[in-house]
Amino acid sequence: MSDFLSKKEIKSIKLWISKMNYYKNSIKSQRANKAKEILQLKYKNIGNGWQRIVYDLNNGYVLKVALTKKGIQCNKREFKIYNHCLADLRKHLCRVKEVGHGWIIMKKMSIKVPKRIYQEKLPRLKKKFLAAGIKPRDMSNSNVRLSKKGKITVIDYGHFIRY
């Protein structure tokens, strides 16, 4: 059950996940296009990387669907890190609302981090993660946003490593 997705949408995600290995050797754009074709979700696709495709749910949240097995791992990792880190660190992680096999729903964050703030505050934030036993991989400017309170928030932390 989901508070955000219908049974039909979850069924289409399950169908995609069951077929995604057939496209594991496809180039990124082909794999994403095939996923969109199979998923047939009514939401706007707002981007995709190598591992996941992202949809805007039009309610302040986004849906990330795995494109690869590693994408499934990224979703699981975001869920675990968000739910098992200290509150002081959690305020720098995009909020996770729901998770299922191959998908995750997170808060939509749109305010890009100005370059000056990114360069000034990111080194301290990385140290904070490291001190908490989390190696923050891929904290590029495209993977962070500003919260309404002006805090740098990581929107893609599927490649972080807990140690």
Is 39 a domain residue? yes
CA gap 51, 131 in Å, rounded: 27
Please state, for a pLDDT cut of 90, what percent of the chain lies above it: 93
The CATH number that applies at residue 30 is: 3.30.200.20
Is 35 a domain residue? yes
User: Are 96 and 27 in the same domain?
Assistant: yes
For 84, counting Cβ atoms within 10 Å of its Cβ (0-12 exposed, 13-18 middle, 19+ buried), the class is exposed
Condensed to tens digits (0 to 9), the pLDDT of residues 21-53 reads: 999 888 888 999 999 999 999 999 999 989 999
Q: HEC profile for the chain?
A: CCCCCCHHHHHHHHHHHHHHHHHCCCCHHHHHHHHHHHHCCCCEEEEECCCEEEEECCCCEEEEEECCHHHHHHHHHHHHHHHHCCHHHHCCECCEEEEECCEEEEECCCCECCHHHHHHHHHHHHHHHHHCCEECCCCCHHHEEECCCCCEEECCCCCCEEC
In this predicted structure, the answer to whether residue 140 has a pLDDT above a threshold of 90 is: yes
Is 14 a domain residue? yes
User: Are 131 and 99 in the same domain?
Assistant: no
pLDDT of residue 44: 98
In this predicted structure, the answer to whether residue 1 has a pLDDT above a threshold of 90 is: no
Q: What is the domain extent for residue 120?
A: 115-162
* Final residue of a structural domain among 66, 87, 107: 107
User: Are 42 and 93 in the same domain?
Assistant: yes
User: Are 86 and 138 in the same domain?
Assistant: no
Condensed to tens digits (0 to 9), the pLDDT of residues 91-117 reads: 999 999 999 999 999 999 999 999 999
User: Are 128 and 82 in the same domain?
Assistant: no
pLDDT of residue 163: 87
Condensed to tens digits (0 to 9), the pLDDT of residues 66-77 reads: 999 999 999 999
User: Are 65 and 87 in the same domain?
Assistant: yes
In this predicted structure, the answer to whether residue 5 has a pLDDT above a threshold of 90 is: yes
User: Are 94 and 120 in the same domain?
Assistant: no
How many of the other CB atoms lie within 10 Å of CB of 21? 10
* Mean pLDDT, rounded, for 82-88: 94
CA gap 141, 130 in Å, rounded: 19
pLDDT of residue 28: 86
Identity of the residue numbered 155: I
User: Are 27 and 98 in the same domain?
Assistant: yes
Is 121 a domain residue? yes
CA gap 3, 50 in Å, rounded: 27
Joined together, the tokens standing for residue 106 give 């997170």
Q: In whole numbers, what is the pLDDT of the chain averaged over residues?
A: 95
pLDDT of residue 71: 97
Is 57 a domain residue? yes
pLDDT of residue 37: 96
User: Are 103 and 133 in the same domain?
Assistant: no
User: Are 103 and 158 in the same domain?
Assistant: no
Domain count, the chain: 2
Q: Are 118 and 141 in contact (CB under 8 A)?
A: yes
User: Are 140 and 80 in the same domain?
Assistant: no
